[in-house]
Amino acid sequence: MKDEFVPLEWNELPVTEMERRAGALYEQMNLRRTTRHFSKRPVSRELIEKAIMCGATAPSGAHLQPWTFVAVSSAEMKMKMREAAEIEEERTYSERMPEAWQELLQPLGTDAVKEHMTDAPWLVVLFRQSKRMRSNGEFGPTYYSTESCGIAAGMFIQAIHNMGLVTLTHTPSPMGFLRGILGRPAHEHAMLVMPVGYPAEDATVPKLSRKPLDDVAVFFE
């Protein structure tokens, strides 16, 4: 059965206003940085809810919205997650990580110590749903769930930046332990851990530059 269709809500903007907004957003997005140094200052649940709702506006394969955002502020649970992540990361850094990978992480200074998991007031874990429940009670696949969740994560990150907070895209490796700790079902797969909060007063970031347009885009006109 076909969905009901309604008129698109859309208002045309003057070209000068389009250009102003395009430039303003780029300038604002270009100020976004990933930091590993979080303040312990609390952040209200309402702000996290709004960022999740922004992420959940993402387009998704067959509009299945195959994501679950699990937001944790419980100090006890954050500690549990940190301890489990550090056990895995310890092995990853010392045994599993090939030299070609190590050479890239060394300049960034990442290691198996994950203090952001207990410093940040919130840990938001994005789970990707690989199956959906059909109306006949059986599981069916989801489609393009990795792409869909990647887009949702990007929109969540933009929302966090726009509200004046910082986040970090942490990928504990492997991160299967998160399903057990957070009580998610077998068809949900943890994809990203995003600590969210205020930056620490002495927060630092690597001195990085971003590729210029010519290195990231090709046009055919």
Rounded to the nearest whole angstrom, what is the least distance from the CB of residue 7 to ligand IYR in the complex?
A: 44
Rounded to the nearest whole angstrom, what is the least distance from the CB of residue 118 to ligand IYR in the complex?
A: 15
Instruction: Please name the residue that has the structure tokens 């502020």.
Output: 73
Number of residues forming the site for ligand IYR (CB under 6 A): 7
Q: Is the distance from CB of 86 to CB of 114 less than 8 angstroms?
A: yes
Rounded to the nearest whole angstrom, what is the least distance from the CB of residue 110 to ligand IYR in the complex?
A: 4
| Between 78 and 170, CB nearer to ligand IYR | 170
The span from the CA of 118 to the CA of 121, in Å, is 7
Task: Decide: is 106 part of the binding site for ligand IYR (CB under 6 A).
Answer: no
Contacts of residues 176-179 at CB distance under 8 Å and 24 or more positions apart, as own/partner, are: 177/84, 177/85, 177/88, 178/81, 178/84, 178/125, 178/127, 179/127
Task: Decide: is 110 part of the binding site for ligand IYR (CB under 6 A).
Answer: yes
Tokens representing 152 are 């949702």
Give the per-residue contact string, 154-193, with ligand IYR (x = CB under 6 A; - = no). ----------------xxxx--------------------
Q: Sort 187 into a burial class: Cβ within 10 Å, 0-12 / 13-18 / 19+.
A: middle
| Between 19 and 111, CB nearer to ligand IYR | 111
3-state class of 120 per DSSP? coil
Rounded to the nearest whole angstrom, what is the least distance from the CB of residue 117 to ligand IYR in the complex?
A: 10
Positions that interact with ligand IYR (CB under 6 A): 89, 105, 110, 170-173
